Amino acid sequence: MKKVLFSILVLFCAVAVDAGAQKKALYGIGFYNVENLFDTQHDAGKNDYEFLPEGSYKWNEKKYAAKLHNMAQVLSELCTEVGKTKNPVGAAVIGMTEVENRRVLEDLLQQPALQGRGYEIVHIEGPDRRGVDPAFFYNPKAFKLQRAMLVPYVYRTPDQPDVDLGFYVDEQGVVQPHPHENGKLLGDTTYITRGFLVVSGLLGGEKFHFIVNHWPSRGAQSPARERAGYQVRHLKDALFKQDPDAKIIVMGDLNDDPADLSVSSPEALGAKHEKKKLTSTDLFNPWWDVLYRQGVGTLFYNGKWNLFDQIILSGNMFTGDKRHLQYYTHAVFTRDYLYQTEGRYKGSPKRTTAGGTWLNGYSDHLPTQVFLIKHIE
């Protein structure tokens, strides 16, 4: 019998219906490093002076308005296409990094491209010296928020053998963060940086924990990022112990590629790239082949592509029942307007500012997206 394929909307999800077969609901998950989303005002305690009208970037209201417009354009288009299938409502959830404060997120959601989406905000001020934080948008029609916390990054040193992981498990078995304000962090604060934003709730009625990351930059020693991977792996394990049936997604700018030790080593994050012997609580990294076989990345540096912006999924999205959310597909999000079209950096992501010149671009990173699918009875 000839099959007929068409698309409808059910609640929030794009649903492809195959005549004579089951309905399939799709949920889009996005991540974007929005590169220095600063407003034009000084925030006490933050080193945001470059992004003031009198600062080195001459960051004025015109440039800030243009940045908001450009970011909204990208975020509004994330997860709107799955092959030939259209999903006009876009991503169910979006993780972001390099966000200054909640105010810039509120301004972003007032942009015409995003106003009708109904996104809500998760943001917790962190201890980063520059003042940039991870953040999270979610559509409440798809995701029901239950809890959010910021687990601080803590760097271990040989003279502090008992330093904690940035979190503990309370008497009820619930994962709790340690204080993250400056001066209250446990352990060495040489590499004081963004914490791990944990957003927990129900996606399509199923329990999820999203961990949004922005690991130490490559200006820090490599063990600093391996330490981040180590902490997130332990955090993942603790969340699974708290909620054995949950699904976990680790997303963010890891400042390392999929094969680097911080991401792939069993002593760090331990994200696998082969499905063989994958267990439900393992982490699987689908971006390995994208970079190393397809040559596609999210940022271009010193003549080659890197793929720092990863969305990594727990194994139960590959080994579970198809009536529950499972991995479907993934891609680096691309549009022609996101690339530099001329000059020295032709072909690389078009930045907001480069070499002291305002380009009215987007970010030095490209976004990434993953789609989850489940059968509807």
Q: CATH no. for residue 271?
A: 3.60.10.10
Domain total of the chain: 1
Q: What is the pLDDT of residue 203?
A: 98
Low-confidence ranges of the chain (pLDDT < 50): 1-12, 14-15, 17, 19-20, 183
Q: Which domain holds residue 193?
A: 5-376
End-to-end CA separation in angstroms for the chain: 21
CA-CA distance, 266 to 67, in Å (whole number)?
Answer: 39
299-328: pLDDT as tens digits: 999 899 999 999 999 999 998 788 999 999
Angle (CA) 340-214-234 rounded to 5° is 145
Q: What is the pLDDT of residue 161?
A: 54
Q: What is the pLDDT of residue 77?
A: 98
pTM: 0.93
Q: What is the pLDDT of residue 129?
A: 84
Q: What is the pLDDT of residue 14?
A: 47
Residue position matching structure tokens 């220095």: 36
Provide the CB-side half-sphere exposure for 293 (13 A, CA).
Answer: 6
Q: What is the pLDDT of residue 193?
A: 85
